[in-house]
Chain A
Amino acid sequence: DTAVSQTPKYLVTQMGNDKSIKCEQNLGHDTMYWYKQDSKKFLKIMFSYNNKELIINETVPNRFSPKSPDKAHLNLHINSLELGDSAVYFCASSQGSGGNNQPQHFGDGTRLSIL
């Protein structure tokens, strides 16, 4: 009965490869997010979707492309992986449009390591 689930939990790959991370939420929330947490635990928003529509697109290299097939899923595809992409990527969701007082619910993260 996991609320926000991400796969895979660990991802180890070579520089230059393309990889995807999947996220699903069963909370019935309208808004989903992708965050990147660096080695110093700093958490930065990357993207947000509300009912499959992109509402936040931070300054992120265009090698990162989110896709939301429906409001319960938000996937992240990364092309041409670089060493600096090594981080923990968190998916989150919240009720409403994202601009309200609703808390965010996080998945357990995907630990991406680039060799």
Chain B
Amino acid sequence: SQQGEEDPQALSIQEGENATMNCSYKTSINNLQWYRQNSGRGLVHLILIRSNEREKHSGRLRVTLDTSKKSSSLLITASRAADTASYFCATRDYGNNRLAFGKGNQVVVIP
């Protein structure tokens, strides 16, 4: 099964700055999802974007999807210390009932 690949792998920013992460994938997808994982916890779903959508917002999160480039980006605006976590993208192919997760981005927000 194909995997999303996030880029960059680790990001350290000051509180208040924006954080941007990218994800690339290889197949035709039905949807792409972003999840957050705090240290020692399970993954928490953040946002889902369908293959026919180009941009989606949820609070301070903005996700874009470019199916021609097979890539997505997650932007966290006005970051907070509580945003410190690992962020994963996951893709679901058409006709497939499984999510393929990428390797994850570690984001550290310095207060």
A interface residues (Cβ-Cβ under 8 A, vs B) = 4, 40-45, 48, 55-56, 90, 92, 97-99, 101, 103-109
Complex interface residues of chain B between 13 and 71 (CB less than 8 A to chain A): 30-31, 33, 37, 40-45, 48, 50
Contact (A106, B44) CB under 8 Å given A101-B30, A101-B31: yes
User: Given known contacts A55-B97, A106-B42, what 5 new A-B pairs fall within 8 Å (CB)?
Assistant: A42-B103, A43-B101, A56-B98, A99-B96, A109-B40
Interface contact tally, CB-CB below 8 A: 56
| Shortest beta-carbon distance from B84 to chain A in Å | 15
B50 CB contacts on chain A under 8 angstroms: 101
Q: Does B95 contact A (CB under 8 A)?
A: yes
Contact (A48, B42) CB under 8 Å given A101-B30, A101-B48: no
Judging by beta carbons under 8 Å apart, are A107 and B101 in contact?
Answer: no
Judging by beta carbons under 8 Å apart, are B45 and A48 in contact?
Answer: no
